[in-house]
Amino acid sequence: MNLYLGAGFSVYSYNREGESLPLGDSINEQLIEMFSLDKSRNLILSKTCQKIKKDNEDGLNRVLKDKYTVNKYNPNYCYITDLPIKNIITINIDDLLEKVYADKSSRTSLNDTKIYGSIEVNDAVNLYKLHGSVTYPIEYKMSFTEKELTDLFLREKNYLKLFRLRYLPHQLFFGVLVCRIIILLT
């Protein structure tokens, strides 16, 4: 089974400040405020990130790592490790899944395909983080703009195959705005 996760999935996890991980509109507003962008331009998150990356990519990465590094999460997330999942595809940059699968109750390991490549073994789940991750080394850039995501799918041929062919009858979606991913892939 493939599991697709969107922004709403991590809603019951909290960062070091005890804040719930922000959804797209919330982090967009926070970034516009923090980086003193013109509020009257009504930028969407991808455009906000594009503008900030142009002027202060290191600052953006620091803020995102602070906001999306999970310190505490609802223990019910651990039930996900009992599902017969082969692949998790997520647009979330947080490290919730890494922490859940590292929990002592998990009998399954999580394999980040960006770092280790895809593997096919019974006790491992392949993780595809489309936007990148707060856990990645600095040389792995996060992808937020339409161009960056398009380039990602051109560069990572396996991603497109995964969405189109693999386990088609066994798909499960969690999160908000899934339609954006589907539109991107059709």
38 token code pair: 């013109």
Examine the domain organization and report whether 54 and 83 are in the same domain: no
Give the tens place of pLDDT for each residue, 128-180.
998 999 999 888 888 887 777 777 766 776 666 665 544 455 555 555 444 44
Examine the domain organization and report whether 7 and 83 are in the same domain: yes
Examine the domain organization and report whether 161 and 109 are in the same domain: yes
Question: Three-class SS of residue 102?
Answer: helix
In a domain, 180, yes or no: no
Examine the domain organization and report whether 86 and 63 are in the same domain: no
Helices (H), ranges, the chain: 24-34, 45-68, 96-102, 113-116, 146-155, 157-164, 178-185
In a domain, 23, yes or no: yes
Predicted TM-score (pTM) of the model is 0.82
Examine the domain organization and report whether 93 and 128 are in the same domain: yes
Q: How many domains does the chain have?
A: 2
Examine the domain organization and report whether 84 and 168 are in the same domain: yes
Examine the domain organization and report whether 156 and 170 are in the same domain: yes
Examine the domain organization and report whether 57 and 93 are in the same domain: no
- Residue 54: domain span: 14-68
Task: Look up residue 153 and give its amino acid.
Answer: F
65 vs 114, which has greater pLDDT?
Answer: 65
In a domain, 124, yes or no: yes
Beta bridge partners of 68: none
**CA-to-CA separations, 155 to 106, 114, 163, in angstroms, rounded:** 32, 12, 15
Examine the domain organization and report whether 138 and 47 are in the same domain: no
What pLDDT does residue 114 have? 86
In a domain, 185, yes or no: no
Please give the Cα distance from 50 to 45 (Å, whole number): 8
Examine the domain organization and report whether 47 and 139 are in the same domain: no
- Write down which residue in 68, 97, 113 finishes a domain: 68
Beta carbons within 10 angstroms of residue 23's beta carbon: 17
In a domain, 32, yes or no: yes
Give the tens place of pLDDT for each residue, 79-135.
999 999 999 989 899 999 999 999 988 889 999 988 887 788 888 999 999 899 999
In a domain, 186, yes or no: no
- Write down which residue in 22, 42, 68 finishes a domain: 68
